[in-house]
Amino acid sequence: MTRTVKCGMRTRTRLPVATAALLLRGAAYVAACAIAMGPGAAFAHGYTLKDLRIEHPYARPTPPGARTGGAYFTIRNQGADADRLLRVSSPAAASVELHSMTMDGNLMKMRAVPSLDIPAGATVTLGSGGYHVMLVGLEHPLAAGSEVPLKLTFEKAGSIEVSAPVEAAPMGAAIGHRH
């Protein structure tokens, strides 16, 4: 049985001890799970297309007036056959390109790639400092808290639409590249 108690100007609801204990135990369980899963676990999200798992798609905010931005995600091929990411499209940009980034001494080289192989049983990460999706001719700057719709087209698995939340870089992370 709950009781409402007037305490000065505030009204408080008192729960039976057993109910309060259950609520606290549940909160402790949720906190323990969040700690065990590590930082960023609350933001993890993914999509499945046949044997492919597209995990944690995201984009980074862009400054006002920026015409390009980047999107990132991980692809896990859980099948016995290789596949290939043929293209990515988005209504948020005039065009979308798959890019690779390599370092040649102190020189950063960015190149558009026609497709990206996804070997059987492999994980391919598109992230800052490697393969990534380049959004060219942005309709609007990418603002933290917004989302970028992406359509990924694979050679064998077909197409899937995913949503990439625009997330600020974690504190202490290296600043991304610019085109």
Query: What is the per-residue pLDDT across 48-80, written as a single tens digit (0 to 9) for each?
Result: 999 999 999 999 999 999 999 999 999 999 999
DSSP state of 90: -
> Do 15 and 23 contact (CB within 8 A), yes or no?
yes
Q: How many Å apart are CA 135 and CA 179, to the nearest integer?
A: 10
State the pLDDT at residue 91: 97
pTM, rounded to two decimals? 0.72
* CATH entry, 43-165, from 3.90.1150.10, 2.60.40.1890, 3.90.1300.10, 2.40.30.10: 2.60.40.1890
Average per-residue pLDDT for the chain: 81
Q: How many Å apart are CA 36 and CA 6, to the nearest integer?
A: 40
- The confidence band for 45, taking pLDDT boundaries of 50, 70 and 90, is confident
Two structure tokens written together for 88: 């990515």
Q: How many Å apart are CA 149 and CA 145, to the nearest integer?
A: 13
pLDDT at 7 over 50: no
Domain boundaries, the chain: 3-37, 43-165
